Structure 1
Amino acid sequence: MKDIDIKDYKIDSKIAISDLKTRVNLHASEKKIEKELEKVRIKLGELQNTMYAHGKYAVLACFQGMDTAGKDSLIREVFKDFNVRGVNCHSFKSPTDLELKHDYLWRHYLRLPPRGKFAIFNRTHYENVLVTRVHPAYILNENIPTIKTVSDVNDAFWNKRFEEIVNFENHITTNGTIIFKFFLNLSKDEQRDRLIRRLDKKNKNWKFSPDDLKERELWDVYQNCYEDAINRTATSNAPWYNIPADDKPTARLIVATILYNTLKTYTDMKEPELDQETYSNIKTYKSQLENE
């Protein structure tokens, strides 16, 4: 199997989405890829336990991609071996009435992970510069005092919003949160095939909405918005990774490997040691328990 090198997926310079891969060949069977994923996710789960005991870092894993890119199943498979106490998953859909009474980042702040835990954002704070940029009328629902009409949602507005997002990410990384931003890069042809399969399967077609086709007609607009968002917000503190998503097992293994290989470089992340008094009396405590 071909080794997975983080550098092949990390975005550290300006990109054009049309140049990014949506499929990669690891030169391995699907079964071998799935077995390798099982090994990596077990190690990732063990590392998370250490992180939980260490209590100084948190991890925020962000997943963005077009509809049918495989976010739900990827999250299920990559984090399957985590202790449930150490991970929470949040899916950000249309803002509620309460959320609209606050600034657009408020609901994301509320769901940030405490130190020692993972949080998964299935769709993320980037919805606020993706969906809303494709449909700027949605911004009017936020009741921002300076925004009276759609014409007010101009370049200056987006420039400010991108600046706020970068500041948000810089703030939380400074305070111990390690951020991964994964762009599940799906080809338009593969999305079409997945939508057809979704319609064909009785246990899947409940996910389909005619609006899916309306959004698909805006494919090129979305791609341009993704490209701009990635280029404006790919920083050393909060990097983006392009995940070729046309093959689901491969995408899952790449994400798990990036997470594990990055986090294991945090060599200060260790379980705390027992205090000297407790350590010196281990034999006594063990004997007490055995002689109950």
Structure 2
Amino acid sequence: MRSDFSTAPSFLSSAASIRPKIALNVHRSIKKIKRENHMNLNEIATVPPEGKNKEDVLRKTEELTAELSLLQEKLFAEKKHSVLVILQGVDTSGKDGTVKHVFGGINPQGCSVKSWTKPNSEEVQYDFLWRIHKYVPAKGMIQIHNRSHYEDVLMPKIFGELSDQRLKERLESIREFERHLSRENQTLILKFFLHISKEEQKERIAERLSDPDKKWKFDPSDLTTQDRWKEYQEAYEMILDDKRQEGEWNVVPSDKKWYRNYKVAKILCEELGKRFE
């Protein structure tokens, strides 16, 4: 799992009592966490590493999005693999903005976006993955899911709608579903958790309410996240901490939109580029 630490992880603190103390003032950006360690979002930075220059990052992001466009063209031409991009995060974390700024230059012939909301009256009559399967990518395609099948675990956990056993069963169904896509259609599944602080979300909600151009984005449910912040964080930690999923979660510091876009674009280019090595 990839993430950013604002402070040293707890497992390093215990090691310090055995070995000489080592300075750990390193901001670890999008780095794999050892699988045995429990995810704690409070220990993971929501801001860019110290010293990152906004103008430099914006320039690199422009280069990366151009590279991503070329990689998508290769993917579309070869039709050997497909890509499923999953964007998760609390309300106002920047899922729509990521789609716009990272994928805006891609040929729409080879890329599509599906935004998920609550199941409708037809969808609730089927298993929770039924509606998802209709929007998985064909070979050569990039499919972006703005929210995803993980909502069907997150929301029931946050609001106590399913037992722990049922949640475990749904997670197992998700694992099997993702393995099926990877095995049968060579689908590369890239998961991004857009990580913002409670304070940043509060500011973004206030901006939506005060700015006439953004007021349409506001939904009363945005306030629910603030009231249930702890429950939301614990639910996401459960998802991010699942060691048996297909593919790792990338925990992206997203308080600064310019850095969020850069990190998502960088990971996409790195992972997709491996398919053409």
TM class, shorter-length: 0.7 to 0.9
Matched, 1:171 2:184: no
Structure 1 residues 12, 83: CA separation in 2 closer, same or farther (over 3 Å shift)? farther
Indicate conservation of the 8 Å contact 1:71/1:122, yes or no. Answer: yes
- What are the residue-to-residue correspondences of 1:128-277 with 2, within 5 Å? 128-137=152-161, 153-175=162-184, 176-232=186-242, 235=245, 237-267=246-276
Alpha-carbon distance in structure 2 between the residues aligned to 1:238 and 1:90 = 20
Alpha-carbon distance in structure 1 between the residues aligned to 2:224 and 2:105 = 37
Higher relative contact order (CA 8 A, sep 6+): 1
Alpha-carbon distance in structure 1 between the residues aligned to 2:207 and 2:173 = 39
Structure 1 spans left out of the alignment, 5+ residues: 138-152, 269-292
Structure 1 residues 234, 132: CA separation in 2 closer, same or farther (over 3 Å shift)? same
- Which amino acid is the alignment partner of residue 159 of structure 1? K
Structure 1 residues 164, 224: CA separation in 2 closer, same or farther (over 3 Å shift)? same
**TM-score by structure 1 length?**
0.80
SS at match of 1:97: coil
Alpha-carbon distance in structure 1 between the residues aligned to 2:33 and 2:268 = 15
Identity over aligned pairs, percent: 32
CA RMSD, Structure 1 to Structure 2 (Å): 1.9
Indicate conservation of the 8 Å contact 1:11/1:234, yes or no. Answer: no
SS at match of 1:68: coil
Alpha-carbon distance in structure 1 between the residues aligned to 2:62 and 2:78 = 24
Alpha-carbon distance in structure 1 between the residues aligned to 2:191 and 2:102 = 15
1:209 Cα deviation after fit: 2.8
Match of 2:14 in 1: none
**TM-score by structure 2 length?**
0.84
1:52 Cα deviation after fit: 0.7
Structure 1 residues 113, 12: CA separation in 2 closer, same or farther (over 3 Å shift)? farther
Alpha-carbon distance in structure 1 between the residues aligned to 2:78 and 2:219 = 45
1:234 Cα deviation after fit: 5.8
Match of 1:275 in 2: none
Indicate conservation of the 8 Å contact 1:22/1:185, yes or no. Answer: yes
1:70 Cα deviation after fit: 0.7
Bigger drift between 86-95 and 153-162 goes to: 153-162
Alpha-carbon distance in structure 2 between the residues aligned to 1:161 and 1:182 = 20
Match of 2:30 in 1: 8
Structure 2 spans left out of the alignment, 5+ residues: 1-26
Alpha-carbon distance in structure 2 between the residues aligned to 1:12 and 1:104 = 31
Structure 1 residues 233, 127: CA separation in 2 closer, same or farther (over 3 Å shift)? farther
Please identify runs of 4+ aligned residues in structure 1 that moved more than 4 A: none
